[in-house]
Amino acid sequence: MTELLTSAQMRAIELAEIDSGVVTGLQLMERAGRGAVAAALARWPELATGAHRAMILCGPGNNGGDGFVIARRLKDRGWDIDVFLFGDAEKLPPDAKINHDLWTEQGTVTPLDHDAMRACGKPDLFVDAVFGTGLTRPLPDALADALDAEVMRKWRGSHKIRRLAIDCPSGLNLDTGMLPQPDKDEDEDALFVPKMNCADLTVAFHSLKLGHKIGMGPAVCGTVEVVDIGLTGEDATERSMIGLPPDRERVRLIDPIFVQKPLPTRFWPGSCVAKEVGGHKYDFGHVMVLSGGPGRGGAGRMAARTALRAGAGLVTLLCPPDALQENACHLNAVMLRPCADADAFRQIADDRVTALCLGPGMGVGPGTRAFVRAALAHSGGDRAWRETAIVLDADALISFEENPATLFADTHARTVLTPHEGEFARLFPDLSQAERGDLSKVDAVRIAADRAGCIVLLKGVDTVIAQPGGGASVHSATGPRSVPWLATAGAGDVLAGLIAGLAAMPTSPDLFCVVEAAVWLHCEAALQFGPGLIAEDLPDMLPKVFSTLAT
Ligand SMILES: NC(=O)C1=CN([C@@H]2O[C@H](COP(=O)(O)OP(=O)(O)OC[C@H]3O[C@@H](n4cnc5c(N)ncnc54)[C@H](O)[C@@H]3O)[C@@H](O)[C@H]2O)[C@@H](O)CC1
Ligand SMILES: Nc1ncnc2c1ncn2[C@@H]1O[C@H](COP(=O)(O)OP(=O)(O)O)[C@@H](O)[C@H]1O
Ligand SMILES: [K+]
């Protein structure tokens, strides 16, 4: 796990280090500029020898300061450099001004202008050092025009221009992963495509920021390299502990990395799925999955099969009596019991049940609401040292659309809600994608988790998990973890079953950590299967995925 910082957290770390006298802002800027050059030359070794041409756009803050350092370092290597400044040199912050003045001893600075840029020879390296963590509002028009991806594409033509972004492509908000857009006139076309240049390589300093991993960030940043600028930060190691949920106010990336370094997968997520040696099937937990009526059982069956593959000792599918025959035709290792209503459920779900999964294919209405209430009241009895884990997905969520508060009155710390954006909007309309505005997806899910009093997992290419109190995690199915073929009907049912199966094991870690591991494994199964995947393939990929966790 590695931390994803907000801009404010990054600034606080820098300031604390500078205030402690360990380092100066100027030294940090020099390291940032040098680190960016080193990262670019490592990415494009053909630039590491000989003289090339760079165009460097600098902004009015410290991001621009990094740009002036880069200009100086590349000039020292014999390169031709064109530097453009957006803003007034006299108003640059002190460290950036010093680097501006150092640069002007070697070269010129031209006010940033679209035509002046195009009049220059095409560069081999284009450096965007206009705005980084300090972006506060949409890009001004003149700058947006200069950075417009479409214009850039035409300009690049057949000449290979490598695009390097310092901290981020300018225009990206590093807290939200969104591209702030100017206010539109009412009569303007609703479909607004922001003008924005993308990078091939983005260098981030000290740590990844949230915006690199959520929203539009992954699409516009290209590869993100973290450059160490010698900040120790606070106790980053402690905060990245695996097996413990993240601290409040902290966000971490769900990936086998530990403070920027790769971590063997046997440590994580291997430790979350390992079974104790020996043991009876009941020692590995009993999952009950509630399913829908005749012709609607597929979703529940997939969730049940996944829970069993995940390692639960037993899995029982409960279905309405009239769906018994259909389910019996499909199930073998998964056990099957008829269950007409919530009263019957209370009789059947004994105290050896350690996890319950409700929602997929159940149908929307009072019957499902009654099942959900009964499930949330289920107790593991005197022998259980913790409450039953309850996973609520799909229809179990939508059934409470009219009055979500009645659901939140019963949810508890061992409950996980797993909505996609549509289901999330029904339970938390004010936090929906359409209403979120400047609120990041992470903060929206944090508020939702506080309101619901339980873990909330909001699915998507960027999946966000939060628990009451603020600790949150992000899984990003982008870059080398891109699995567009996971956007297939039933993939969510499988995830619900996977969480239930892992959480059922009495030796499983904290529920938040189980949910993190499930999201990673779900993506990993899709990744290892590859294109052509259908949801039913996912549970049967788990043994292969587990076998790769031994290393
Ligand atoms: N402070 C430090 O010691 C270090 C800072 N570093 C760099 O500094 C950057 C952060 O510097 P800053 O906090 O100065 O922020 P930025 O350089 O990202 O931008 C801040 C400036 O841009 C203006 N601005 C923001 N949005 C604007 C918009 N839409 N239109 C016009 N002007 C706009 C602000 O008024 C401010 O003048 C990081 O991204 C990183 O690149 C690195 O050098 C590492 C060390
Ligand atoms: N393009 C994508 N890339 C990666 N993961 C995706 C993508 N689209 C969907 N997913 C994942 O697939 C699952 C789909 O779940 P859901 O929307 O509930 O589908 P369903 O209701 O059909 O089961 C979620 O875990 C989601 O994060
Ligand atoms: K930038």
Near ion ligand 3, which residues have CB within 5 Å? 128, 132, 166, 170
Question: Quick one: average pLDDT of 312-336?
Answer: 97
Mean pLDDT of all residues in 210-225: 96
8 A C-beta contact, residue 240 and residue 1: yes
- Asked if residue 520 belongs to a domain, the reply is yes
Return the pLDDT at 439: 95
What is the complex's ipTM, to 2 decimals?
Answer: 0.94
Assess whether the C-beta atom of 495 lies below 6 angstroms from ligand 2.
yes
The answer on 153 and 223 residing in a single domain is yes
358 and 234, same structural domain?
no
Q: How far is CA 535 from CA 72, 231, 305, 352, 487, in A?
A: 53, 44, 11, 29, 9
Ligand number nearest CA of 36 is 1
- We report the CATH number of the domain holding residue 216 as 3.40.50.10260
Range of lowest pLDDT (112-121, 475-484, 530-539): 112-121
Domain count, the chain: 2
Percent of the chain that is helix, strand, coil (3-state, to 5): 40, 15, 40
Average pLDDT over residues 524-544: 98
Q: Whole-prediction pTM value?
A: 0.95
Instruction: Assess if residue 429 is contained within a domain.
Output: no
Q: Among residues of the chain, what percentage have pLDDT more than 70? A: 95
The pLDDT value recorded for residue 245 is: 86
Q: What mean pLDDT do residues 527-539 have? A: 98
137 known member of a binding site = yes
Asked if the model's pLDDT at residue 246 lies above 90, the reply is: no
Q: Ligand 1 pocket: which of 14, 17, 62 to mutate (most atoms <8 Å of CB)?
A: 62
Please check whether residues 33 and 154 belong to one and the same domain: yes
pLDDT band at 235 (very low <50, low <70, confident <90, very high): low
pLDDT of residue 188: 57
Ligand 3 center from residue 32 Cα (angstroms) = 12
Closest approach atom of ligand 2 to CA 419: 18
Helix (H) or strand (E) segment spanning residue 146: helix 141-147
pLDDT at 259: 74
Residue span of the structural domain in which 52 resides = 2-181+190-241
- Helix (DSSP H) and strand (DSSP E) numbers for the chain: 22, 20
Look at residue 166 and tell me whether its pLDDT is greater than 90.
Answer: yes
What is residue 197's predicted lDDT score, i.e. its pLDDT?
Answer: 82
In this structure, the answer to whether residues 73 and 220 fall within a common structural domain is yes
pLDDT digits (tens, 9 = 90+) for 394-428: 999 999 999 999 999 999 999 999 999 999 999 99
pLDDT at 241: 63
Same domain as 294, residue 175 = no
The pocket around ligand 1, CB under 6 angstroms, is made up of 14, 25, 28-29, 32, 59-66, 93, 131-140, 166-167, 205, 229
332 is in an annotated binding site: no
| Dist. CA 226 → ligand 1 center (Å) | 18
The answer to whether residue 99 sits within a structural domain is: yes
Ligand 2 contacts CB of residue 484 (under 6 A): yes
Asked whether residue 413 falls in the same domain as residue 495, the answer is yes
SS3 state at 154 = helix
For the segment 319-348, the average pLDDT, to the nearest whole number, is 98
| SS3 assignment, position 462 | strand
419 alpha carbon – ligand 2 mean position (Å): 10
Index of the ligand 2 atom closest to the CA of residue 420: 17
Nearest CA to ligand 2 atom 1: 484
The alpha helices in 402-440, defined as continuous H runs, are: 404-408, 421-427
Residue 187, pLDDT > 80, answer: no
Query: Is 286 within 8 Å of 348 (Cβ atoms)?
Result: no
What's the pLDDT at 186?
55
Tell whether 249 is covered by a domain: no
Flag whether pLDDT at 60 surpasses 80.
yes
From the CA of 62, which ligand is nearest? 1
| 464 within domain boundaries | no
Query: Do the domain assignments include residue 381?
Result: yes
pLDDT above 60 for 240? no
Same domain, 108 and 220: yes
pLDDT average, residue stretch 20-49: 97
Q: Within 10 Å of residue 279's Cβ, how many Cβ atoms? A: 13
Could you tell me the CATH number of the domain that includes residue 342? 3.40.1190.20
Ligand 3 centroid vs 228 CA: distance in angstroms?
17
- For residue 120, pLDDT beyond 70: yes
- Tell me: pLDDT of 309 over 90: yes
- Rounded to the nearest angstrom, the distance between the alpha carbon of 288 and the centre of ligand 2 is 23
The two beta strands, 335-338 and 314-319, are parallel
- Is 25 in the same domain as 81? yes
Among 58-67, 133-142, 286-295, the minimum mean pLDDT is found in 133-142
Q: What is the mean pLDDT of residues 172-183?
A: 88
Residue 344, CA atoms < 13 Å, CB-side half-sphere: 11
Residue 21 domain flag? yes
Indicate whether 237 pLDDT > 60: no
**pLDDT above 70: residue 344:** yes
**Is the pLDDT at 156 greater than 90, yes or no?**
no
pLDDT given for residue 184 in this prediction:
62
d(CA 357, CA 290): 6
Closest C-alpha to 308, from 368, 355, 267, 254:
355
In terms of domains, do 217 and 302 share one?
no
Residues 318 and 229 in one domain: no
The reply, when asked if residue 462 is annotated as ligand binding, is: yes
Average pLDDT of the chain?
A: 93
For residue 447, tell me if it sits in a domain: no
pLDDT score of 258: 81
Tens digit of each residue's pLDDT (9 = 90 or more) over 350-372: 999 999 999 999 999 999 999 99
Distance (angstroms) between ligand 3 centre and the Cα of 388 equals 48
DSSP state letter for 122: P
Predicted local distance difference test score (pLDDT) of residue 153: 79
